[in-house]
Each structure stands twice: as structure tokens, then as C-alpha cells.
Amino acid sequence: MSTGTMKKSHSQWSSRMGFMLAAAGSAVGLGNIWKFPYMAGQMGGSAFVLTYLLFMFVIGLPILVLEWLIGRRGQKNPIHTMEDVAASEGHSKSWRWVGIIGVVGSFLILSFYSVIGGWATDYIVLAAQGSFEGANGDITGKIFESFLGNVNHLLTWHTVFMAVTAFIVAMGVGAGLERACKIMMPGLGILLLVLVGYAAYVSGPSFTAAFKFLFTPDFSAINGTAMLAALGHAFFSLSLGMGIMMAYGSYLGKDVNLLSTACTVVILDVIVAMLSGMAIFPLVFANGLQPGEGPGLIFVTLPIAFGNMAGGTILGVLFFIFLTFAALTSSISLLEPTVELLEEKTPLGRKSATIASSLVIWALGIACLLAFNEWAEVKLFGKNLFDLLDYLTSKIMLPLTGLGTVVFGAWMMNQKRIREELNLNDFWFTVWTVLTRYIVPVAVIIILVYGFL
């Protein structure tokens, strides 16, 4: 931690375990629990799941490793890390743009991520009050609708969620981010196992149906749309292209093995997504509900199941606590790059930097939540503000930064040094080179181009 006015010393994770949990905490989030199951539901289940799995390892993993590697070299916020590492490799400082787009992206994403985090938090209370007991789709749909229409309500929960996020980040890398993840991640794992166990217990044959739905390989169902969605989601799910992993890498000591840690994080992230599916779909099937409902799956469809099963109230509460934890360990990572930047480059200390950036993000979040009600008709390029920000960040900024990172890492940096740092033998170095020089950039360019269509 920096002390006094000198900002020379840079924070560090206290252990490899702490770093890994923080990185996994960032990766595991609404994307795994909310987005992955509904996308799988919409895109025919296993076809989507298999492609997603493939992309996580072939595309996601190398970019994750490169973000950490570059971050660790730079030991600064993503913008100045890119600048310094580019200069030390003999290239233009304009590579800083990779960092700039990343930091701006994480900043923008947090504004709407916090709104949804607020929904998750509020649903803990709704579930605890027994609001879903005996409910059918009409009722849960109305609850969700009236909830989206109530500005004060959304504002309250967005504020609560953002305040908790800021509180954790203000405490610093070790005492804040790392400690929060050390507490919340195991909690999250236990909750998930309880949820899956319960789903298996109450849903009987539907559990098998859900398993088949998610995992029976049906290669004929793999089409371009599913592949593209899976690719984009692999990115989002690993928190890539937002300067986050670069910022996390900047707090990393030389002794950590990047490849094995990255494998662990990818595996954990995938397991949480799969198990979330196995907690949700058995209940959906057992209640005769539709898996392809889209974004409402968790907030509209699942509450019907909770409202009509034995122990559903308690299970609902546990589920939304689980969702809130997952969202929080990601939201703190979204705030970190901006705070790191302000802390290093302005006279602000950690706490003031956190407060300043959180206030701006909070205000932007208000504009996002108004998109669900008062400003629903305010549209730019045919999209309301919430959709516009989502589109701009996940379809454009995120792949752009990802592309910049991999092109920089594979074509601009000294490959011999990278090979030594990653400890690769001839075979794996060839695989690494082919992936990072050709396959990953081409895949990312494809996502980018399709994002525009």
C-alpha cells in the first residue's frame, strides 16, 4: 500500500491463493449464473455449451495469460502499463490506447452491472418475504415489471450495491479485494453445491433431463449464431478486454506460475457456469417451464419454481444471496482499474479515488436504470441507454482491447522472454505461437465484425 504522499510502492496480493480467488471472483459473476444459463437455454443447450467450453480454453485462456503477463511487467494501471511495456519493447507509446479503452470499458460496464447487482440484492428480500409463494408466470412477470417500473426502488438497490462495492475497494488490494474474495468465494462454492444438491433432490427425473439438455453433444445444432455468442461470452465470462486482469496482474509477484493459475481460473469459471445450469434447469423442467425465456430466466421463470416447491422460499433466498456474492466479487474488479489509475496519477489517495470514481459510476448507473422506465423511449441508434452501453462495451470495446492485447503480446513482445516466463517446451511453444499469432486474433476480429452487423 502507498503511504503518505509517496506513491512508489505498489500493492501486492498476499498469496497466490488470494490472487487466484480474486481473479476467479472477477470471472465468476452474473455472466455465469444469469447470462450463461439463459443463453444456453436459447441456443439449444449442449451445442452452445460445447462451443463455449472450447473457446474458453482456446481463445480465453491465452488472452488471460497475456493480460496478466503484461500487467506484471508493467506493475502499473493498465494505461501506463501498456505505455511502459510498449516502450521497453521498442514500440510506440500509442499502445496505451489498449489500456485506455479497457479502463473506460470497465468503468462503463460497472454502471449497468451495478443496476443488475441491485436487482439480485433486492430479490433476496423479495424471496425472503415469500413474494413468490404459489406464484405463476403472470405473477412473477408482474412482480418483475412493477419492480423495473419503480425508479426509487431500483435506485435504492443500485445505491446499496454500489456502496458495498466501493467500501470493499476502498480498503485496498489485500485488505479489501483479496479478503472479500477469500470470504465470498468459498461461500459461493458451498451455496452452489447446496443448490445443485437440492435441485437433484426435488426434481427427480428432471435432473437427468437438465443434464442431457446441457451436455448431450448434438453437433448438428452448432451454428454460426451459437458459435459467435459462445465466443463473445467466453470473453465476458473471463473478464477479458477491460483492463481488469491487467490491473490484477500488476499486483502479482514474479513467483506465480501464470499458465497453471490461468487454467485453474478458467476451470473454476466453467464449473460454476455448468453447475449454475444444473441448479437452474432441473427446477425449470420439473415445473414445466421454458428454458429459452432469455434474460428473464432467473428473475421471472426461476421464482415460479421457488414459489411452488417444498423449501422454495429458503432456496430462493440462498439462490439470490449466491447471485449477489458472485456479482459483488466481479463489481469490485470492475472498479479496480479506474481506482488504480486515479491513485497512481492524481494526488488522490485510495479512499478518495474510490469515492470519486464510484460517484460518477453511480450517477451513470442512474441514467441506465431510468432506461427501464421513465427514459424507456430515449433511444440512440435504436437502443435505450442500458442496451447501448451493453452493446458498446461487450460488442466493441471489449473485443477491441482483447485484440490489441493479443496482437501486442504475440507480435510486438519478445517471444523468447515470454517462452521462458511461461516455461514452455517446444511443443507447447508452437501451440502457443499458433494460437496467439493467428487463431485468437482472427477469432476476435470475427466477433468484432459481426458485432457491427
For residues 342 and 348, the answer to whether their CB atoms sit within 8 Å is: yes
Stretch that binds ligand PHE, among 159-167, 236-244, 357-365, 424-432 (CB under 6 A): 236-244
Is 244 a binding residue for ligand PHE by CB under 6 A? The answer is yes
CB of 258 to ligand PHE, least distance (A): 19
Q: Which is nearer to ligand PHE, 37 or 74 (CB)?
A: 37
Please, which residues bridge with residue 383 across strands?
380
Is 239 a binding residue for ligand PHE by CB under 6 A? The answer is yes
Q: Which is nearer to ligand PHE, 328 or 353 (CB)?
A: 328
User: In this structure, what DSSP letter does residue 380 have?
Assistant: B
Sketch the per residue contact string, 73 through 112, with ligand PHE: x for CB under 6 A, - otherwise: ------------------------------------x---
Is 131 a binding residue for ligand PHE by CB under 6 A? The answer is no
CB of 380 to ligand PHE, least distance (A): 22
Is 237 a binding residue for ligand PHE by CB under 6 A? The answer is yes
Q: In sequence order, what DSSP letters do the residues of 102-162 get, joined into one string?
A: HHHHHHHHHHHHHHHHHHHHHHHHHHHTTTTTT--HHHHHHHHHHHHH-HHHHHHHHHHHH
Q: Find the binder of ligand PHE among 82, 85, 191, 334 (CB under 6 A).
A: 334
Q: Which is nearer to ligand PHE, 32 or 384 (CB)?
A: 32
CB of 20 to ligand PHE, least distance (A): 15
In angstroms, what CA-CA distances link 223 with 40, 43, 51, 210, 393? 13, 9, 10, 21, 24
CB of 356 to ligand PHE, least distance (A): 20
How many residues comprise the chain? 453
Element holding 205 (H helix, E strand): helix 205-215
Quick check: helix, strand or coil at residue 251? Answer: coil
CB of 7 to ligand PHE, least distance (A): 25
Stretch that binds ligand PHE, among 22-30, 80-88, 186-194, 380-388 (CB under 6 A): 22-30
Would you tell me the crossing angle of helices 16-27 and 312-345 to the nearest 10 degrees?
A: 110
Would you state the cell numbers that stand for residue 334, as one nine-digit string? 470492475
User: In this structure, what DSSP letter does residue 383 have?
Assistant: B
Is 242 a binding residue for ligand PHE by CB under 6 A? The answer is yes
Stretch that binds ligand PHE, among 203-211, 316-324, 329-337, 415-423 (CB under 6 A): 329-337
CB of 237 to ligand PHE, least distance (A): 4
Q: How far apart are CA 91 and CA 146, in angstroms?
A: 54
User: In this structure, what DSSP letter does residue 295 have?
Assistant: G
HSE-CB for 318 with a 13 A CA cutoff: 22
Is 63 a binding residue for ligand PHE by CB under 6 A? The answer is no
Q: How far apart are CA 236 and CA 170, in angstroms?
A: 25
Q: Find the binder of ligand PHE among 18, 31, 102, 409 (CB under 6 A).
A: 31
Q: Which is nearer to ligand PHE, 34 or 157 (CB)?
A: 34
Stretch that binds ligand PHE, among 23-31, 218-226, 353-361, 422-430 (CB under 6 A): 23-31
If binding means CB under 6 A, how many residues of this protein chain bind ligand PHE? 15
Please, which residues bridge with residue 163 across strands?
none
For residues 329 and 185, the answer to whether their CB atoms sit within 8 Å is: yes
CB of 154 to ligand PHE, least distance (A): 20
Q: Find the binder of ligand PHE among 23, 24, 26, 60 (CB under 6 A).
A: 26
Q: How far apart are CA 393 and CA 389, in angstroms?
A: 6
- Phi/psi for 127 (5° steps) reads -65, -40
Residues in contact with ligand PHE by the rule CB under 6 A: 26-27, 29-32, 109, 236-237, 239, 242, 244, 330, 333-334
